[in-house]
Structure 1
């Protein structure tokens, strides 16, 4: 019997089917529901970027929305451009014709559009992401708004992997096509002036005019597990002329400005906690003694209980990586719950903060980036 697909109205049901496809794998999923491989159209999983067989997904999703009727069989409905494709698109999902992933021209247009947003953001100039999305779609081959959003998130993921700034509104999402990775890297190599302008702007120190401490604390990013791509050939390195003395001074200014902001935050926090007198005992240790003690500010939890604060400041976004020393990690383990890492981000615009408490090894992915070289080898 033919089933009216217009009854399928639940994006959540489609996503549940996509999640099952990801969990079981393509072969097992198709076998479970009795479908063959799609000949023409695949639907993209917005979570992972994986392409899935469109008709099989719709059939399984029907069972998620109508469990009393169960999933549809291949003979229950027709697939293709006139039925399954518009139903998935109306529910907000990106459908791709097999063999027609983003072309080189489309990818280049997307990368150019993204970097223009990044340039405007670094220069603190207003722009509207939806307008950029609409303008880009006029240059593409029938791509949906959601498809463009995902591509921008893929670009963020490539830049994040290169340890470069990315547009804050587009959280990095991996599984970018190889062509996109190559195009982003080539754009970075071809536009060193623009990249330098963006990086320098993100490290510029501008103390906020409005020191809004209320409602500035947010949850830290979650620790994500990703599959590391196999490395083909040597690591790509980007040549760039840098005045390292000037850069170190800029970083020191940014770090100091962030610590000053945290001192104001602590003043408000202690007052709100009912201990305003404890602010008089606050010690800006790094300013008085310099770095190396394992934390920057000695504050208080309550009378008789210390709070050791290490401050990490960036003009970048919520998920920006940061450098932490072995000394700071060791001190965090020693101080346990008395240690608090204050990650201040979006400092130039409207400072926000998340706090990591206690030992950090289980909360962060730690990657060694430098080594101390000597001619003395330590043995047990």
Structure 2
């Protein structure tokens, strides 16, 4: 029988809550080998304290079944949502992390986030720690970590809307419904602010760094599936001129700057690989033949092995989405390991890149955006 289904005693759960309060969170989690909850907390009905659900349930199981003892973290395989549902079935209050923030707290956090985003886009200095401290003075006893999580939640919401977000706050999903509504309301009511952010990010400057050190090439982000929240909100429609991925794609000057930077990178890569003679054979295809070939630069791995390079450039950070054409996708499939996508990011500061090799559908989540409309269709 599944261990979680055997837990039926509210008194055992309360005993676990009481021990949590007596020991304190850190000591309780350390004693039983659990980490902090990521998505849900359970409220101790005696004192209102918010407790980590999997650790509480594991200890409660040991209280109800002393001969078995508490469940280990490896034995309690159910996810937090399943454990939360179990506690609710036993009559306990479960809250989604961050869900108890008030409207005033959420609005203040959203406003602070967008102020930092504007400063970052304009390349004006600011201090995240100072912003965090000043914001917490306006909130209801929130910790530094809880504010950082809220800011990461906002990044995830903006990424979902295909809008820029603060690079220092990696998107984290499972955000509060109230927060999603507040972010969407801010974007809708402050279009001028978002225009300034996107306009600033689109500005084309000569790269601040043209030396190709070992730190230029970084690992590509990994594909990750984010937890889909159950509460639905009406999706707002973002005007195309606010879609920075589309604007990056349309900004030919930005694209050429990125391709020119990659040409320099390839010169150094071939030099270091021991093929300096191949540098003269390198061809900037999009410049000499125009767009539409499915790649931008023809380079080499060896004297007999070509490297077909498609360049995607942004002033934004590593996680910024980008647009892939149907032609580019098909070419990546056809050329397989000879196809290389060079994603150049933070171009205007100290450019970096990651490389995706082969079929792009192996590396990326691809969502169709447009359709070709016609009155004729060829069948058979």
TM-score under structure 1 normalisation?
0.77
Three-state SS of the structure 2 residue aligned to 1:361 is: helix
Residues 209-228 of structure 1 correspond to what in structure 2 (within 5 A)?
A: 209-214=208-213, 215-228=215-228
Give the aligned partner of residue 23 of structure 2.
Answer: 5
Call closer, same or farther: CA 1:126–1:305 in 2, change over 3 Å. Answer: same
Tell me the alpha carbon deviations over residues 169-196 of structure 1, each in whole angstroms, 9 at most, x when there is no partner: 0001011111101111111111111100
The Cα of 1:6 is off from its aligned counterpart by 7.1
The size of the alignment, in residue pairs, is 329
Q: RMSD over aligned Cα, in angstroms? A: 3.5
Call closer, same or farther: CA 1:37–1:169 in 2, change over 3 Å. Answer: closer
Tell me the alpha carbon deviations over residues 127-159 of structure 1, each in whole angstroms, 9 at most, x when there is no partner: 111111111000001000000000000010111
CA distance in 2, matches of 1:292, 1:231: 42
Give the aligned partner of residue 44 of structure 2.
Answer: 38
Give the aligned partner of residue 181 of structure 1.
Answer: 180
Give the aligned partner of residue 195 of structure 2.
Answer: 196
Residues 9-28 of structure 1 correspond to what in structure 2 (within 5 A)?
A: 16-18=34-36
Call closer, same or farther: CA 1:287–1:15 in 2, change over 3 Å. Answer: farther
Whether 2:372 is the aligned partner of 1:364: answer no
CA distance in 2, matches of 1:349, 1:71: 53
The Cα of 1:206 is off from its aligned counterpart by 0.8
Give the aligned partner of residue 258 of structure 2.
Answer: 258
Give the aligned partner of residue 3 of structure 2.
Answer: none
Call closer, same or farther: CA 1:374–1:228 in 2, change over 3 Å. Answer: farther
CA distance in 1, matches of 2:231, 2:95: 28
Whether 2:317 is the aligned partner of 1:317: answer yes
Call closer, same or farther: CA 1:54–1:147 in 2, change over 3 Å. Answer: farther
Note if contact 1:41-1:54 (Cα within 8 Å) is conserved in structure 2.
no
Whether 2:371 is the aligned partner of 1:353: answer no
The Cα of 1:200 is off from its aligned counterpart by 1.0
Note if contact 1:42-1:54 (Cα within 8 Å) is conserved in structure 2.
no
CA distance in 2, matches of 1:115, 1:370: 30
The Cα of 1:376 is off from its aligned counterpart by 1.2
CA distance in 2, matches of 1:112, 1:7: 31
Give the aligned partner of residue 375 of structure 2.
Answer: 375
CA distance in 2, matches of 1:379, 1:253: 41
The Cα of 1:10 is off from its aligned counterpart by 9.1
Note if contact 2:136-2:142 (Cα within 8 Å) is conserved in structure 1.
yes
CA distance in 1, matches of 2:302, 2:203: 35
The Cα of 1:276 is off from its aligned counterpart by 1.3
The Cα of 1:317 is off from its aligned counterpart by 1.0
Residues 1-380 of structure 1 correspond to what in structure 2 (within 5 A)?
A: 5=23, 16-18=34-36, 38-39=44-45, 40-43=48-51, 52-53=52-53, 56=56, 59=59, 71=70, 101-214=100-213, 215-229=215-229, 232=232, 235-238=235-238, 251-380=251-380
Note if contact 1:342-1:355 (Cα within 8 Å) is conserved in structure 2.
yes
The Cα of 1:240 is off from its aligned counterpart by 7.7
Tell me the alpha carbon deviations over residues 224-256 of structure 1, each in whole angstroms, 9 at most, x when there is no partner: 1134456857531245878x9xx6897111011
The Cα of 1:379 is off from its aligned counterpart by 1.5
Tell me the alpha carbon deviations over residues 315-366 of structure 1, each in whole angstroms, 9 at most, x when there is no partner: 1111111100111111111111010000001111111100000111121111
Note if contact 1:340-1:355 (Cα within 8 Å) is conserved in structure 2.
yes
CA distance in 2, matches of 1:6, 1:233: 37
Moved more, 201-210 or 358-367: 201-210
Tell me the alpha carbon deviations over residues 263-293 of structure 1, each in whole angstroms, 9 at most, x when there is no partner: 0010111111111111111000000111111
Call closer, same or farther: CA 1:323–1:304 in 2, change over 3 Å. Answer: same
Three-state SS of the structure 1 residue aligned to 2:104 is: helix
CA distance in 1, matches of 2:105, 2:373: 47
Give the aligned partner of residue 90 of structure 2.
Answer: none
